[in-house]
Structure 1
Amino acid sequence: MSERKNNRGKIEIMADVLTLSTVGIKKTHIMYKANLSYEQILYYLNELLGKGLLAQDVMEGSPVYRTTEKGREFLHYFSRMADLLKGYPEEQKVQLVAQ
Structure 2
Amino acid sequence: MSAAIKSIKSLAPLLDRVLVQRIKADTKTAGGIFLPETAVKELNEAKVLAVGPGMMDKKGNRIPLGVAAGDRVLIPQFGGSPLKVGEEEFSLFRDHELLAKINE
Q: In proportion to residue count, which structure has more helix? A: 1
Bigger RCO (CA 8 Å, 6+ sep): 2
Please say whether Structure 1 and Structure 2 have the same fold, judged by a TM-score greater than 0.5.
Answer: no
TM-score by length of 2: 0.25
Q: In proportion to residue count, which structure has more strand? A: 2
